[in-house]
A and B are shown apart, each in its own frame.
Chain A
């Protein structure tokens, strides 16, 4: 145990680890742990402050479709992000050419664009006569008289992927770069094709980076408000975050809003459980 004494003030001694950890832990307790626990407690209180399941019954009655929709959107986009980000990050790792140079400059652009702006751009890009539909019509793939309607699950997914894939690539790319070339060369000299090098060497060796990036992507998608709010708004189904805003803005109903929040935690708990299981497994 580290007992290095680093500060002495009028006879008071404080171990250095406490001094180093105290500010971050205090902020985390105040900004994460307290609100997290408070929202759970308040979700079980009715308007008079008594213990009740009323908020949950109302939530299940009104928002089951939206909870299922949020879960589907999140899983679908996390899986798609995983596939696309792995493809791009692996390509960056194994190929060094003009395309990778250009793409490695381009792919970071969405990182700088906030969701509020992404939503505005997507509103214009995915509109019935927006750039995407016009481009597809010019390629002869659709008729502009019957354009694709994208202000729904499809448009939302497009927006999420546009925003989240670069973030996942950024983290995975770092992990792939750490893998020594000798592993790839050894696999190739043992007769492995590029496909096997990717699936048997690169991806397994970078499993933790991939996991971290996907956990972050998953929880960001569950918690995003602006994009679903501005793209699909109050249409049914919508996401839990839009419902939370709706309950607070129109009804000042914090009980149901907190109960909806607890459903978000439950969705995130899936990844948290898997992540912590992996972490604890590693530390044993």
Chain B
């Protein structure tokens, strides 16, 4: 068992380690024949060169805006739906909940084409008329980059599992005090939901920050690029500049690692508390 664990540790760390060491190698070393694990000469300048190519302040700004809006809006609407499924009784609740779970199983890449067409023909925006013609719709807009990631079956599922763990006496006490369901959710359940918010927030932020395909098809201008798309600056038909690519990759990973370290306590608690019991 220990052998498996040590092998697993090596395999988990090795590509990450390779990313860091490659980011510190000089271009001459990378072009030379032969492979060495450690850089012969450490070149921190790679990070500077990588960040000077392209408009990285703009790319980071775009990614921050898209990630922040997606996370905040999705936390609000997923927690509301999760609460309704877990604590309220209404006709068709079970069927609606199970139907919503199917969304969790649809590969997003396969629905991208219809979503793209729908957003491209969104009426009255991006030069489109009432019937969605004449312009570019939500292409090259933050709205178009955010909308597909706001609602997710997984988020609803996670909050529902979390709220199932609360005792019914909590609802009874609120009802006796004359607190309606909406206020009960806002005043009682939301303040008790830090672990669930941290869990979904961290997962959603990771997913949105790391998204590559959707921004690729929804943006056409350099100014709307996200950090993931900007990595293409170091890759062309003839050559990949590995040292700069890995320097930029290391830098764009940092915000997520910081976020995770910040949210880790709640995150682990959230996963354990929700149990994601199915």
Contacts and interface: CB of A to CB of B under 8 A. Distances in A.
B133 to A, nearest CB: 17
Contacts of A257: 113
A223 interface: yes
Contacts of B156: 24
Interface string B201-245: 000001001111100000000000000100100000000101001
Contacts of A116: 210, 212, 228, 231
Contacts of A213: 276
B1 A177 contact: no
A115 B107 CA distance: 15
B24 interface: no
Nearest to A125: B15
B108 interface: yes
Interface residues of A, number: 103
Contact of A120 (B5, B93, B245): B245
Interface string B29-54: 00000110100000000000000000
Nearest to B183: A6
Interface of A is mostly: helix
A105 B156 CA distance: 28
Interface stretch (A32-40, A49-57, A58-66, A182-190): A32-40
Interface in A225-284: 225-226, 241, 244, 248, 254, 257-258, 260-261, 264-265, 268, 271-272, 275-276, 278-280, 282-283
B134 interface: no
Contacts of B14: 125, 131-132, 135
B127 interface: no
Given A106-B12, A174-B275, A31 B213 contact: no
Interface centre among B18, B19, B107, B260 (most CB of A within 10 A): B107
Contacts of A4: 88, 180-181
B278 interface: yes
A107 B98 CA distance: 31
B35 A102 contact: no
Contact of B115 (A35, A100, A224): A35
Contacts of B260: 108, 111-112
Contacts of B12: 106-107, 109-110, 162, 166
Contacts of A20: 80-81, 83-84, 88, 181-182, 185
B9 A117 contact: no
Interface string B128-159: 00000000000000000001101101101000
Nearest to B185: A20
Contacts of A115: 210, 212
- 10 nearest A-B residue pairs (beta carbon): A223-B107, A27-B151, A114-B210, A208-B278, A24-B81, A35-B114, A35-B111, A261-B110, A174-B271, A20-B84
Interface of B: 1-2, 4-6, 8-9, 11-16, 18-19, 22, 34-35, 37, 76-78, 80-81, 83-85, 88-91, 93-94, 96, 98, 100-115, 118, 147-148, 150-151, 153-154, 156, 180-182, 185, 206, 209-213, 228, 231, 240, 242, 245-246, 249, 253, 256-257, 260, 268, 271-278
20 contacts: A16-B180, A16-B182, A24-B81, A25-B81, A33-B103, A38-B114, A39-B110, A99-B2, A111-B260, A112-B256, A162-B15, A171-B271, A174-B268, A174-B271, A211-B278, A219-B107, A223-B107, A224-B109, A272-B105, A275-B105
